[in-house]
Structure 1
């Protein structure tokens, strides 16, 4: 609970520091990229603060490439 509140407070402070300059410079693309990455980062941080198990991105690559690795290994060891 306290971790989530702390993350939200820090996120609000970062938004207050960064977003006005992006709006002032009319940097719409940068604002969109900042917003998307920031929401993902804050969401993951809150999940970690609540002890939610977050899968490792490398696990997805292992699942995708494991059949190919097994095939190549079997071909090379034959």
Structure 2
């Protein structure tokens, strides 16, 4: 429970520091990207803090390129 509280507190501090400056400079697209990335990062940090299994992005890369690798390797034999 303390892990979640700490992560949410850190995210709130980051938001209080960054968002007013983005709004003042009228950087709407950057504000959207910042907000989305902060939400994703906060969610992943909470999942990591709760010891939930988080898949590696490398698993997706392997799944995509493994069949291609097998075809090329088969032609080289």
Same fold (TM over 0.5): yes
The 5 Å alignment of 1:52-67 reads 52-67=52-67
- Alignment gaps of 5+ in structure 2: none
1:2 shift after superposition: 1.0
Ranges of 4+ aligned residues in structure 1 off by more than 2 Å: none
TM-score relative to the length of structure 2: 0.97
How many positions carry a matched residue from both structures?
Answer: 77
TM-score relative to the length of structure 1: 0.95
Q: Distance in 1 between matches of 2:6 and 2:66?
A: 40
- Alignment gaps of 5+ in structure 1: none
- 1:19 matched to which residue of 2? 19
